[in-house]
A and B are shown apart, each in its own frame.
Chain A
Amino acid sequence: MDFLNAIIALLNFVVVPAVAYGSQLALGALGVTLIYGILRFSNFAHGDTMAFGAMITVLFTWLFQSWGISLGPLPTALLALPIGILGCMALLLATDRVVYRFYREQKAKPVILVIVSLGVTFILNGLVRFIIGPDDQRFADGERFIVSARTFKELTGLREGLAIKTTQGITVITAVVVVALLFWFLNRTRTGKSMRAYSDNEDLALLSGINPERVVMITWLIVAGLATIAGVLYGLDKSFKPFTYFQLLLPIFASAIVGGLGNPIGAIAGGFVIAFSEVTVTYAWKKVLTYLMPEGLEPDGLVQLLSTDYKLAVSFLILLIVLLFKPTGLFKGKAV
């Protein structure tokens, strides 16, 4: 019984939140890594692109809610998601047309594009705040829990509860579906193959008749989809606040780099590595050990390796270690 309690406590406070957070990071990191792989620059505007897509979804969710449309136990936001993706696609194509294309034609160095994307970040940041305001917005509805801690305790009679939120379930399932679709697209379709070819060697791809503008456009479209899905899932699970999306940029880049920039599998692995390291290294093991240790040997202290103040430092330490030993990331990405 005690052993079960220990497992459940660990699941509830470490595994479930980390898996959901990891999926959100992985989806964000996929977008970053695609842009890096194909357009060859680090897109700092990604966090605010997520915020923009999520914002449109939030606005339409409110509209649907006011019409009385709902998805029953599922959040209405899923219904508004395609519209959000379309809005985000329009935004990204417009920024590409107005901003990035100019620098691409100049064959500008990646570092210039990075700074340009930083400028785009601040403009998007302002735009989102201007439209929806800087405050927390609530748009989640439907059933809140798949299993709540209280029902779990009543069902099993254990002392520890296990809570799985609907949004956590949706996050993980959506992430799996999206990733599967993306890989199928990149590996099986003609357009996907031309994108990979363009990513591997731009000149050879041009020689074999691949239209670069088309590849760039499709990349932005896919990135818009990924960013909006990641942004909405994150907003559903936590809350929608423009500023936190800007903050999210740091762990997302850490994930993409740990996994290997430009490598989609790496982005997913990186997302989970960062999420698990943030939660586990700073976890206080007192509760779990109290269940596991024989009576009288329970720990008095918290048995915490590091205070939670250092959780961000932990993910960057892992980033440093990985880059020292594998400069291209865990999965072979492009050299940074």
Chain B
Amino acid sequence: MKKLLLASTAAALVASGAFAGGHAKEVKLGVQFGFTGPIESLTGPMAAGAEMAMAEVTESGKLLDAAKVTAIRADTGCIDNGLSTSNAERLIAEGINGLIGGDCSGVTGAILQNVAIPNGMVMISPSATSPGLSTVEDNDLFFRTAPSDAREGQVMAEILQERGVQSIALTYTNNDYGKGLADAIQSNFEAVGGEVTIVAAHEDGKADYSAEMGALASAGGDLLVVAGYLDQGGLGIINAALDTGAFDTFGLPGGMIGDSLPANVGSALDGSYGQIAGSGGEGIEKLKEMAGDAFDATSPYTPESYDAAALFMLAMQAANSTDPADYGKHILDVANAPGEKIYPGELGKALDILREGGEVDYVGASAVELIGPGESAGTYRMIEVQNGENVTIGFK
């Protein structure tokens, strides 16, 4: 009954919105994620999250002159710079007012340099985490609701310190992500007085990790931090460490958090811990409620996607314009204090406040707080493996 009521209310809202929108303008937002490629399983819920925010605003009929917000999806392939650039150009040609994306760090940089900057288009990425994107010359066109990996290093160092870890051995997957994260973990952990006994790279998909394990074991340490991928070399390293008895506890950064790791390693992983970008509390609970069975709102970077779309629309309202050159300056204003706190499902209320000249502090589903060059300060979910499952033990 409740569902039926909700549905009919929504239908009525859509109908009235459509009626009012007959002569109102349309706002187009590009949604450019890797719908094919290495993270294709994540991008479905991400896009659904972004589109839910747009539907919410369209239904409220409160953005500008009851503008209708539509999403135009495009692919990045996650690792395909050529595809991403040409698709982004197509979106510009279709007249988007803002670009949600890209998803993976490499293609996000490519779209920014080749398309967004030349065309003066504002981008908000929900999932690009490379520290390199913090320092890129972006003409204030690039924002992200995901934290930089540099922040993850800081969080990990704090967690290790709180648990009384004195020394760690550190291995990373030999690419930009692994190296950047390993550097961040090492410098932060040393800054809080910890000792990093060795930093050794490992290649993904290699035949044998005995040599790496020999070196890591010889260097020793309270635990082994594996900054890699859970279905790649990271798994091989953990298996080699357990087999030789070199380490029995592991520090697991975001790339190692997933259900397949405890399933593949077995009970020996119990007691290992780590963190992944994500937040708890009111915002995510509301988003979960709103998403219902339509999609998994807790899927990685899905709350961030909802928030990216919401930030665009709130900034447009604050600037009273859909021109990137006008509303770009307002993104930081609506995201941060001062102002009334806004959670998912309250976008209509926020639009009202902004129209009346008030201020909002958008919290959203991922506890948005944009710092520095316009990136998320970053909330992390602390995970511990207990009885063969990843259990969330807190937030930081």
Do A and B come from the same complex? yes
Chain A residues engaging chain B, CB cutoff 8 angstroms = 9, 12-14, 17-18, 21, 135-136, 138, 148-150, 161, 163, 165, 234, 238-239, 241, 243-244, 247-248, 251, 275, 278-279, 282-288, 302, 304, 307-309, 311
B211 touches A163 (CB 8 A): no
A12 touches B244 (CB 8 A): yes
Q: Decide yes or no: A149 and B244 within 8 Å by CB, A13-B217, A21-B208, A279-B210 being known contacts.
A: yes
Cβ-based interface call for B243 (8 A): yes
Cβ-based interface call for B337 (8 A): no
Contact of B211 among A149, A238, A244, A279 (CB under 8 A): A279
Q: Which B residues are CB-close (under 8 A) to A251? A: 207
Interface residues on chain B, number (Cβ under 8 Å): 29
CB distance from B248 to the nearest CB of A (A): 9
With A and B bound together, what is the CA distance between A103 and B264 in angstroms? 44
Q: Which A residues are CB-close (under 8 A) to B102? A: none
CB distance from A130 to the nearest CB of B (A): 17
Name the residue of chain B whose CB is nearest to the CB of A304: B215
Cβ-based interface call for B325 (8 A): no
Q: Which 9 A-B pairs have the closest CB atoms?
A: A149-B245, A17-B210, A284-B218, A287-B218, A13-B214, A284-B215, A161-B245, A248-B207, A283-B214
Q: What 1/0 mask marks residues of chain B from 259 to 292 whose CB sits below 8 Å from any chain A CB?
A: 0000010000000000000000000000000000
Greatest chain A CB density within 10 A among B206, B213, B219, B244 is at B244
Q: Decide yes or no: A286 and B218 within 8 Å by CB, A238-B207, A247-B207, A278-B211 being known contacts.
A: yes
With A and B bound together, what is the CA distance between A18 and B213 in angstroms? 12
A244 touches B205 (CB 8 A): yes
A238 touches B236 (CB 8 A): yes
Q: Which B residues are CB-close (under 8 A) to A238? A: 207-208, 236, 239
Q: Decide yes or no: A13 and B200 within 8 Å by CB, A21-B210, A279-B210, A283-B214 being known contacts.
A: no
Q: Decide yes or no: A244 and B198 within 8 Å by CB, A288-B218, A308-B211 being known contacts.
A: no
Q: Decide yes or no: A283 and B215 within 8 Å by CB, A136-B235, A150-B245, A238-B236 being known contacts.
A: yes
Name the residue of chain B whose CB is nearest to the CB of A246: B205
With A and B bound together, what is the CA distance between A169 and B345 in angstroms? 60
Within 8 A of A (CB), among B129-179: 174
With A and B bound together, what is the CA distance between A114 and B347 in angstroms? 64
Cβ-based interface call for B201 (8 A): yes
With A and B bound together, what is the CA distance between A275 and B210 in angstroms? 10
B211 touches A282 (CB 8 A): yes
Q: Decide yes or no: A247 and B206 within 8 Å by CB, A149-B244, A308-B201 being known contacts.
A: yes
A307 touches B200 (CB 8 A): yes
With A and B bound together, what is the CA distance between A238 and B240 in angstroms? 8
Name the residue of chain A whose CB is nearest to the CB of B199: A307
With A and B bound together, what is the CA distance between A163 and B202 in angstroms? 22
Name the residue of chain A whose CB is nearest to the CB of B245: A149
Q: Decide yes or no: A284 and B219 within 8 Å by CB, A13-B210, A239-B239, A308-B211 being known contacts.
A: yes
With A and B bound together, what is the CA distance between A177 and B231 in angstroms? 34
With A and B bound together, what is the CA distance between A307 and B198 in angstroms? 10
Q: Which A residues are CB-close (under 8 A) to B210? A: 13-14, 17-18, 21, 278-279
Q: Decide yes or no: A279 and B214 within 8 Å by CB, A243-B205, A247-B206, A308-B201 being known contacts.
A: yes
Q: Which A residues are CB-close (under 8 A) to B212? A: 308
Give the A-B pair count, Cβ closer than 8 A: 102
B198 touches A302 (CB 8 A): yes
Name the residue of chain B whose CB is nearest to the CB of A283: B214
User: Can you name 26 A-B residue pairings with CB atoms under 8 Å?
Assistant: A9-B217, A13-B210, A13-B214, A13-B217, A13-B246, A17-B210, A17-B213, A135-B231, A136-B231, A148-B245, A149-B245, A238-B208, A238-B239, A239-B235, A239-B236, A244-B207, A248-B207, A286-B219, A286-B220, A302-B218, A307-B200, A308-B200, A308-B202, A308-B212, A309-B174, A309-B200
Q: Which B residues are CB-close (under 8 A) to A248? A: 207
Q: Which A residues are CB-close (under 8 A) to B219? A: 284, 286, 302
A12 touches B245 (CB 8 A): yes
Main secondary structure of the interface of A (DSSP, over half): helix
Q: Decide yes or no: A163 and B218 within 8 Å by CB, A138-B264, A238-B236, A241-B205 being known contacts.
A: no
B264 touches A136 (CB 8 A): yes
A163 touches B235 (CB 8 A): no
With A and B bound together, what is the CA distance between A13 and B212 in angstroms? 10
CB distance from A59 to the nearest CB of B (A): 19
With A and B bound together, what is the CA distance between A138 and B260 in angstroms? 11
Greatest chain A CB density within 10 A among B210, B213, B235, B240 is at B210
Q: Which B residues are CB-close (under 8 A) to A9? A: 217-218
Name the residue of chain A whose CB is nearest to the CB of B198: A302
Q: What 1/0 mask marks residues of chain B from 207 to 241 whose CB sits below 8 Å from any chain A CB?
A: 11011111101111000000000010001100110
Name the residue of chain B whose CB is nearest to the CB of A311: B211
CB distance from A307 to the nearest CB of B (A): 7
Q: Which B residues are CB-close (under 8 A) to A239? A: 235-236, 239
With A and B bound together, what is the CA distance between A279 and B211 in angstroms? 4
With A and B bound together, what is the CA distance between A136 and B240 in angstroms? 15
CB distance from B121 to the nearest CB of A (A): 35
Q: Which A residues are CB-close (under 8 A) to B205? A: 241, 243-244, 247
CB distance from B236 to the nearest CB of A (A): 7
With A and B bound together, what is the CA distance between A21 and B211 in angstroms? 11
CB distance from B215 to the nearest CB of A (A): 4
CB distance from A18 to the nearest CB of B (A): 6
CB distance from A270 to the nearest CB of B (A): 15
Greatest chain A CB density within 10 A among B206, B211, B215, B218 is at B211
CB distance from B206 to the nearest CB of A (A): 6
Name the residue of chain B whose CB is nearest to the CB of A153: B245
Q: Which B residues are CB-close (under 8 A) to A283? A: 211, 214-215, 218
With A and B bound together, what is the CA distance between A283 and B214 in angstroms? 6
CB distance from A23 to the nearest CB of B (A): 12
Name the residue of chain A whose CB is nearest to the CB of B210: A17
CB distance from B101 to the nearest CB of A (A): 26
Greatest chain B CB density within 10 A among A9, A13, A18, A244 is at A13
Name the residue of chain B whose CB is nearest to the CB of A234: B207
A309 touches B201 (CB 8 A): yes
Contact of B198 among A18, A163, A284, A285 (CB under 8 A): A284
Known: A238-B236, A284-B215. 14 other contacts (CB 8 A): A13-B213, A13-B217, A14-B210, A21-B210, A138-B264, A238-B207, A248-B207, A275-B208, A282-B214, A287-B218, A288-B218, A304-B215, A304-B218, A307-B215
